[in-house]
């Protein structure tokens, strides 16, 4: 086998030792650069190998504050997972530099970098996974420290690991709600930065948090910039601009409705299948290759919209739709539900039939926060309804009827 980097003949096997010396690549990066399956590069004895605890040396030196802070941030991100006799931190190959930065800091605890290869039955191929690993007995217990620079370093690691930008808003899905609450209180109290809890966490005991405004995101990123710029890959996500794209998810729901005060058949209760196209436009995330994960887009649209409308009478779902459940007002109603979770939302399309559909492009989240809910939806829920002087006519008419009856 010939190395495609240095053209050296290597016999029947290429390994990480040669590649590190030759070009600094890992075997997985080499396979991606030369678009080769790992199956062709690895021998059987390199796949599904069991790691040996005895090959790890327990550290004898004490570790500094940065080690504690990085560890604390990774604990908050739920990035340290036990696998057998080891604790492991893993990231995808596109974020290898970030993983190696963790290794540079955490080697004092005995962590070692490992790229391991497994045959996956479901995908019928060999895959690579990148780990930092340490024997479970080496790792100190979690320490929560909310003081000054330690807190900022911890939050920077947390955000670098699981934070995402959507249309300029920072989202962090905290695996533990108590961490979300603690961080939210500390940021508000010490730095006047507000986080908004959203009911959309992927974790059973978690809490999805979003910077409440664009200004809050800017202030938080600026506050942490010294720490984030030190972490490879995080710089690409938070300080660089990349190409934009629009992603679309189609969902369907079956609903009944009627149109109040309509002179035609639509005044009668009738039902049908609605097809909804949700379009989100944003910068492509360089670390995922996505505008946002289709799984998240589908989950939000299904939880917040489809589950609420499917097999229901639209007129009785919400007061905003009780008078007119037209596709026009339905689009506005749905937009205002989704924009909190999808600030990159750029267009909604709702098909009531294959021949009839409505397209809506609503306000940005920033505009909605400043102007509030659409006036078109507020009429029957407004506190002003029933308070005009003309309502005195109703009162006088009622009194006249009572006198006539008397």
Whether 249 and 374 map to the same domain: the answer is yes
Whether 230 and 250 map to the same domain: the answer is no
Whether 130 and 190 map to the same domain: the answer is no
Whether 165 and 107 map to the same domain: the answer is no
- What pLDDT shows up at residue 248? 98
Q: Domain for residue 84, yes or no?
A: yes
- 56-to-80, 114, 314, 370 alpha-carbon distances in Å: 18, 12, 62, 56
Q: Domain for residue 125, yes or no?
A: yes
Whether 64 and 110 map to the same domain: the answer is yes
Reported as a pLDDT band with limits 50, 70 and 90, residue 349 is: very high
Q: Domain for residue 299, yes or no?
A: yes
Reported as a pLDDT band with limits 50, 70 and 90, residue 370 is: very high
Q: Which of 160-174, 347-361, 379-393 has the lowest mean pLDDT?
A: 379-393
Residues 87 and 75: beta-carbon distance below 8 Å: no
User: Which of 109, 138, 167 marks a domain boundary?
Assistant: 138
User: Which of 105, 120, 138 marks a domain boundary?
Assistant: 138
Structural domain for 46, as ranges: 19-138
Whether 88 and 44 map to the same domain: the answer is yes
- What pLDDT shows up at residue 405? 55
What value does the mean pLDDT take over residues 182-196?
97
Whether 231 and 358 map to the same domain: the answer is no
Q: Domain for residue 132, yes or no?
A: yes
Whether 283 and 375 map to the same domain: the answer is yes
Tell which residue, 348, 363, 269, 343, has the closest CA to residue 312.
Answer: 269
3-state SS class at 128 = strand
Whether 330 and 201 map to the same domain: the answer is no
3-state SS class at 59 = coil
**Domain count for the chain:** 3
What value does the mean pLDDT take over residues 87-100?
98
Instruction: Report d(CA 275, CA 314) in Å as an integer.
Output: 15
Whether 267 and 287 map to the same domain: the answer is yes
What value does the mean pLDDT take over residues 27-36?
96
3-state SS class at 274 = strand
- What pLDDT shows up at residue 402? 53
What value does the mean pLDDT take over residues 5-15?
86
- What pLDDT shows up at residue 249? 97
- What pLDDT shows up at residue 313? 96
3-state SS class at 146 = coil
Q: Domain for residue 4, yes or no?
A: no
Whether 235 and 249 map to the same domain: the answer is no
What value does the mean pLDDT take over residues 206-225?
98
Q: Is the pLDDT of residue 147 over 90?
A: no
Residues 111 and 103: beta-carbon distance below 8 Å: yes
- Whole-model pTM over 0.85: yes
- What pLDDT shows up at residue 261? 86
- For the chain, the C-alpha Rg in angstroms (whole number) is 28
Whether 252 and 233 map to the same domain: the answer is no
Residue range 68-90, pLDDT digits in tens: 999 999 999 999 999 999 999 99
- What pLDDT shows up at residue 146? 67
Which residue reads 């794209």 in tokens? 245
**CATH number of domain containing 205:** 3.10.28.10
Q: Domain for residue 161, yes or no?
A: yes
Residues 6 or more apart whose CB falls under 8 angstroms from that of 277 comprise 248, 249, 250, 347, 348, 349, 350, 351
Residues designated catalytic = 266, 311, 352
- Alpha-helical runs (H) found in 229-316: 234-239, 294-301, 307-309
């Amino acid at each position: 086998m010939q190395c495609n980097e240095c053209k050296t003949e290597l016999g029947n096997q290429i390994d990480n030792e040669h590649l590190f010396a030759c070009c600094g690549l890992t075997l997985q990066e080499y396979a991606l650069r030369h678009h080769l399956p790992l199956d062709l590069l690895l021998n059987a004895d390199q796949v599904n190998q069991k790691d040996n605890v005895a090959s790890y040396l327990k550290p004898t030196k004490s570790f500094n504050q940065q080690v504690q802070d990085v560890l604390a941030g990774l604990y908050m991100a739920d990035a340290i997972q036990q696998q057998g006799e080891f604790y492991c931190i893993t990231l995808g190959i596109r974020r290898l530099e970030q993983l190696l930065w963790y290794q540079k800091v955490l080697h004092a605890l005995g962590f070692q970098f490992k790229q391991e290869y497994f045959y996956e039955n479901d995908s019928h191929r060999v895959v690579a996974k990148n780990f930092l690993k340490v024997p479970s007995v080496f790792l100190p217990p979690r320490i929560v420290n909310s003081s000054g620079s330690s807190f900022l370093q911890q939050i920077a690691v947390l955000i670098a690991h699981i934070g995402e930008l959507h249309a300029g808003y920072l989202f962090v899905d905290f695996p533990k709600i108590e961490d979300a609450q603690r961080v939210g209180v500390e940021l508000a109290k010490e730095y006047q930065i507000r986080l908004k809890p959203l009911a959309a966490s992927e974790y059973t005991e978690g809490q999805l948090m979003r910077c409440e405004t664009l200004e809050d995101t800017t202030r938080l990123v600026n506050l942490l910039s010294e720490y984030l710029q030190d972490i490879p890959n995080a710089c690409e996500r938070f300080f660089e601009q990349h190409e934009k794209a629009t992603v679309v998810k189609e969902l369907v729901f079956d609903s009944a409705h009627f149109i109040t005060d309509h002179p035609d058949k639509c005044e009668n209760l009738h039902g049908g299948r609605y097809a909804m196209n949700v379009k989100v436009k944003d910068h492509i995330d360089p670390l995922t290759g996505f505008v946002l994960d289709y799984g998240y887009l589908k989950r939000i649209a299904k939880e917040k919209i489809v589950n609420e409308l499917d097999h229901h009478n639209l007129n009785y779902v919400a007061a905003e739709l009780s008078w007119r459940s037209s596709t026009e007002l339905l689009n506005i109603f749905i937009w205002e539900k989704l924009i909190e979770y999808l600030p990159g939302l750029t267009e909604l399309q709702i098909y009531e039939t294959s021949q009839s559909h409505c397209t809506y492009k609503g306000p940005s989240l920033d505009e909605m926060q400043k102007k509030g809910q659409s006036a078109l939806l507020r009429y029957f829920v407004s506190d002003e309804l029933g308070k005009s002087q003309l309502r005195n006519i109703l009162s006088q008419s009622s009194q006249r009827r009572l006198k006539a009856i008397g």
